């Protein structure tokens, strides 16, 4: 157990150093960091931050290098992340965000946000995202339903209350 913890500590320290750039550079070594995160996940597959940071880096690289293979890899790992941790809102919400922002697939994004709100511990911002997507998709009926559902959990939420008055 001690060796595993030492390896993880070393990997996290190396990632931190590389992420913020090596001396004399302005950007980190994202491909190397992605490989280090893969090593972290072999030792600790339940590290949500490692999954999410690695996928974010893949998306960022796809934009910076104009190479869609990074985004395709990100999608593959995002699905793997969900398959390993399907019992909480966070994985579903992350996939919703992934498809909304990174893959630009709003219909698929809505499906993941709908799954995320089934969990009692999901935050009000998950409802905000879902309602916003429904409105953007001109689905006022579902937007109203999710607004009401969100308000049943977060009665004083100013965003949801403002949407309720608009959608009625």
* pLDDT (average), residues 9-34: 81
98 phi and psi angles, rounded to 5 deg: -60, -50
Segment 126-135, tens digit of pLDDT: 999 999 999 9
**Does residue 1 surpass a pLDDT of 70?**
no
Please state, in angstroms and rounded to a whole number, the distance separating the CA atoms of residues 96 and 165. 25
For the stretch 119-165, pLDDT in tens is 999 999 999 999 999 999 999 999 999 999 999 999 999 999 999 99
pLDDT digits (tens, 9 = 90+) for 72-89: 999 999 999 999 999 999
- Whether the Cβ atoms of residue 131 and residue 158 lie closer than 8 Å to each other: no
Domains of the chain: 1-85 (1.25.40)
């Amino acid at each position: 157990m001690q060796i595993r913890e030492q390896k993880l500590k070393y990997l996290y320290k190396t990632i931190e150093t590389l992420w913020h750039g090596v001396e004399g550079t302005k950007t980190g070594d994202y491909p190397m960091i992605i490989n280090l995160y893969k090593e972290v996940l072999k030792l600790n597959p339940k590290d949500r931050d490692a999954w999410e940071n690695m996928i974010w880096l893949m998306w960022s690289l796809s934009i910076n290098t104009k190479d869609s293979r990074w985004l395709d890899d990100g999608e593959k790992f995002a699905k793997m992340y969900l398959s390993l941790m399907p019992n909480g809102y966070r994985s579903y919400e992350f996939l919703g965000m992934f498809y909304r922002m990174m893959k630009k697939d709003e219909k698929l994004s809505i499906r993941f946000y709908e799954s995320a709100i089934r969990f009692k511990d999901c935050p009000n911002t998950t409802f905000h995202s879902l309602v916003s997507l429904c409105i953007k998709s001109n689905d006022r009926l579902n937007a109203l339903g999710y607004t009401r559902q969100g308000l049943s959990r977060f009665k004083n939420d100013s965003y949801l209350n403002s949407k309720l008055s608009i959608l009625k």
